[in-house]
Amino acid sequence: MYKILVVDDSALMRRVICDIINADSDFRVVDVSADGEDAYNKIKNNPYDLVVLDMVLPKLQGVDLLAKLYNEKIPFNAVLVSSILKEDTESTIRALEYGALDFVVKPIRSGSDTRDVFGRQLVTALHNATKQSSFRQISARRSTSDATKAIEESRRSTLERMENVKKSLQATKSGSSIAQTSSTPARPAAPTPVERKPATAPPPAPVASPGGDKKPPVKPVGTGVRTKKIIALACSTGGPQALHTFVPMLPATLSVPLVLVQHMPEGFTASLAARLDQISAVNVKEAENGEYFKPGWVYITPGGKHMEICEDGSHAAYCHLDDSPPVNSLKPCADVMYRSLSKSSFDEIICVVLTGMGADGSEGIKYLNQYKKTYVISQEASTCVVYGMPKAVEQGGLSNEVAPLKSVANSIVKRL
């Protein structure tokens, strides 16, 4: 069972989160905190497996707490609870850079339906966090230290007991009438190791296209430029951290546009794009409906929308944001993006699949291969936070190249 610290300044929210977590047999809340400074001291001195952390806290904000732990090399596993306010989404993106494993969106309204959705998302995030390669075995590591302390305490108590026996014998030999009795302190038990159930990933759902009554693609604004190639990238769990490594390695002279799907809720992709734009040579933005794709730009699909790549009469590509229902419970869905490219006029499509849970992207690329020339790069397993999406691509025989994260940008440049 995983031991959890819940950090939130609202007593009501702490109670709600604790009830949700304790209802799952794999997790148990063992401590709570109402401010960042108290949480820092508790994390520093206690072996929590996971920290559920609100981003807005008194004394020390959530992102500042993680920055302090990160800079002091204090190990932690954090799942964030964030609102969709702009300042909170920006802090959440920064917190992911400091090593937070995942985040869930705090409900705006109180109600049983809203709480149920939030509860499912939180428990899913906690389970996903424990399956990540970057999940630290904190309890196991610290319990070794605790066991060492227990042995030392036992050794001291044994020495004290022997000293008492020695004094009692000396008193008996000297004919003392005062009986010396020795007390035997209880031997402190070494902590039992935390039991972990084997992680089991849910089977991938069948691929589908967006359903419902779709509106026709909006007419693009302005004039577009036709490029012979395009880069289409997909990522999920661990994606923000991977993008913070990958995107800054792209050259400013990138001759084609890059479109990408990162599984994120609505409101967070704009902050992700803004942060990546600050640290990269290429331009990065959240994609807008009807805008043309320009060479040297990276376009992130907005959370809560599907992206389809369309073309005008001159075969210049532009963005169509589709508000159809989720596909395989995903919105945005990478399969939708890849399938839309099957109708394009690109000479070649460079498909890139980075870290992520599940198999999104693989069926879309498989479909795309029937109609277009593709070159598929998947992230190498040891550099993935979760080797799910790249694994599905590689095991499906779709990868032309398997590259570690820090080599993906160079692989793209070489292909171009």
Phi, psi of 10 (to 5 degrees): -95, 120
**Which residues lie closer than 8 Å to 353 by C-beta, 6 or more apart?**
233, 234, 235, 334, 361, 362, 365, 376, 377, 378, 379, 389, 390, 393
pLDDT over threshold 60, residue 186: no
pTM listed for this prediction: 0.78
Q: Which helix (H) or strand (E) holds 18?
A: helix 11-22
Q: How confident is the model at residue 140 (pLDDT cuts 50, 70, 90)?
A: low
H helical segments located in 104-257: 112-131, 138-173, 239-246
- Quote the CA–CA distance of 35 and 1 in Å, as a whole number: 25
Q: Which amino acid is at 31?
A: D
| Tens of pLDDT, residues 70-127 | 999 999 999 999 988 888 899 999 999 999 999 999 887 666 677 889 999 999 999 9
Q: Which amino acid is at 12?
A: L
Active site residues: 236, 263, 360
pLDDT over threshold 50, residue 25: yes
Tell me, what's the pLDDT at 372?
Answer: 97
- Smallest CA-to-CA distance from 66 within 46, 88, 36 is with 36
Annotate 78-108 with b (16+ C-beta within 10 A) or e (fewer).
bbbbbbbeeebbbbbbbbbbbbbbbbbbbbe
Structure tokens at 281: 């040579």
Between the alpha carbon of residue 208 and those of residues 5, 11, 306, 330, 333, the distances in Å are: 39, 43, 13, 11, 10
| Tens of pLDDT, residues 36-70 | 999 999 999 999 999 999 999 999 999 999 999 99
If you average pLDDT over each of 113-117, 190-194, 293-297, which comes out highest? 293-297
Find out whether the peptide bond into 203 is cis, omega within 30 degrees of 0: no
| Tens of pLDDT, residues 250-287 | 999 999 999 999 999 988 999 999 999 999 999 999 99
